[in-house]
Structure 1
Amino acid sequence: MNWPRVSNEEMHSRIVRFDHLKTQGVPLMFIDSILPGHQRMNYAVIGDTASENAEFKPAITAPHKFQIGMGFAEPGNGPAFHTHDYVEAFFILEGRWRYYWGNEPGKVEGEAILNKWDFISLPPGLYRGFEVVGEDIGWFFAVLDPHDVFNGKDPYWDPEVERKAAEYGFKADASGKMIKPENYSELKGQMMQHLMGVLRRWEDSHRG
């Protein structure tokens, strides 16, 4: 095969170091991220990973035919009920997670508990939510079908989630882009401080 040559410089640009990635989190990547029970830190590794917040910056910018995200949440927290137009799959890196789903907004029809190294693939149009149910924070690794950012609603939220987010001033427009409240910078700072504190405590507890 006549493959193009790849330089060492390009290869190093395709490596993501956790020590760097952990400083690039977006604490309010989605309109539900402000809500109690749904607070978490999200990281864009490749592509937009369905973000409603344009502040994300993928760690690897080279085009891929898939999109990769990571994130962590404290016990009792995780993404609220929503769906996408594409496949969304999760590999559990740490902790114990409850995934729940249904074919309609507001109607849960099934659930499963996933532990470290378990994997789940969620089809388009199926509403889903998930939360950490263990005693420690949980980490996930997400793989998504390729999709264009800010080209339509993404995610599609349960209307009750949208209503609650609006009480904090968070909405998404028809293109799927976050409409931020006037005190967004203050809320972002508070959430970043809290979640980075959670991360530091978790790292301290896992040092040998």
Structure 2
Amino acid sequence: MTPQDIASRIVRYGELQPCKTAFIDAHTPGSDQKENFTIIGGGVSESPDQHVHISIPHGFNIGAAGQPPRCRNSLHDHHTAEAFFVLSGRWRFFWGRWGTAGEVVLEEGDIFNIPTGIFRGFENIGTDYGMIMAILGGDDAGGGVMWAPQVIEDAADHGLVLGEDGKLYDTKRQQSLPEGVKPMPLMSDEELAKRPEPTTAEVLPNHVARYWDMVALADKTPCKVIGETGLLKDRPGFEVDFITRGSAREDRHSHDRPSVLMPVRGHWRVDWEGGSATLAPGDTMSVPEDLAHSAVPSMTGEAALYHIVGTEDPAGPSWTGS
């Protein structure tokens, strides 16, 4: 496979195309400056403005959120798994019906595997524009987003209405619900009462992995971060490995399905028969199935890389208290 063939499967950080109207809170003060990116797969955007960089099915989606300081992503849930790692900045994640059940602060390189069934939100609490990368289970990413009722109500006050068809209608653009399409119904009190409210102490041990802990664990061999035998034991429809300079190998290997390489530190050279490419932090590379390849740091200094591959597992169990 030639470098030209692979070029269409590499999304460079500097070439990411943002959508500023992706979700229902796009006009809500405090959330109206965020940018959403759909890198691999259709994503869960509610807007036709969203640009999909790579549409090849992988069994999971890759997306990203970029936000200036103090910009917030509102409380929501997915039908499938959602995991985030911090590419840049400092981020506070919070969860629960009102976002007050628990919270955790993530630094660059940290990863958070969030179970379904829990409303979650996040905000950039750093001093500069920050970026978090998202892995969503399933090719269809669960068919959309479920919003906390107050998010839908606040959005309507600022001109955005979510239809029961899962599409956004913007009254600021003179849009209205089509005939026969009703507004997305709010969750009932009975439905909301069934949702768990885990504390920070309950969530952190089995759902958050810290960058420097993974660096230590990946000194000789790759660290399995998310997977049945992973540091965060889960079967969300994908596996995530963490690789450093010490655990990278020149030997080539392949997978029977597409895999994804996402550097968080350093520059990485990816080699395959017929070509090579160099990836920098923020770049995303989709490696074709059955393509023998290797990935090693191409420069001295700190180097770390996330590797994602889909599995046959259901894409995201609900919170079970572990």
- Which TM bucket (shorter chain)? 0.7 to 0.9
- Which of the numbers 39, 54, 59 marks the counterpart of 2:48? 54
Q: Displacement, 1:11? A: 1.2
TM-score (norm 2): 0.51
Alignment of 1:114-125 (within 5 A): 114-125=106-117
Q: Matches of 1:35 and 1:56 in 2, distance apart?
A: 18
Asked whether the equivalents of residues 83 and 134 of structure 2 are also in contact (C-alpha less than 8 Å), the reply is: yes
Q: Which is richer in helix?
A: 1
> 2-side partners of 1:130 and 1:150: how far apart?
20
Shift of 1:148: 2.7
1:128 and 2:120 correspond? yes
1:99 Cα deviation from its structure 2 partner: 0.4
Higher relative contact order (CA 8 A, sep 6+): 1
The answer as to whether partners of 1:31 and 1:170 remain within 8 angstroms in 2 is yes
Q: Would you say how many aligned residue pairs link Structure 1 and Structure 2?
A: 174
Superposed displacement of residue 184, structure 1 = 7.1
Which is greater in Rg?
2
**Aligned twin of 1:14:** 9
1:31 aligns with one of 24, 29, 42? 24
Structure 2 partner of 1:192:
none
User: CA-atom RMSD, angstroms?
Assistant: 2.0
Residue 159 (str. 1) matches residue 149 (str. 2): yes
1:144 partnered with 2:136? yes
Query: How far has the Cα of 1:8 moved from its partner?
Result: 4.2
- If the length of structure 1 is used for normalisation, what is the TM-score? 0.77
Cα distance in structure 1, aligned partners of 2:99 and 2:3: 51
* Larger strand proportion of the pair: 2
Paired with 2:18 and 2:170, the residues of 1 have a C-alpha distance of 18
Give unmatched runs, 5+ long, in structure 2: 176-322
Contact residue 150 and residue 175 of structure 1 kept, 8 A:
no
Q: Which stretch of the first structure deviates more once superposed, 165-174 or 91-100?
A: 165-174
Opposite residue 12 of structure 1, the aligned amino acid is A
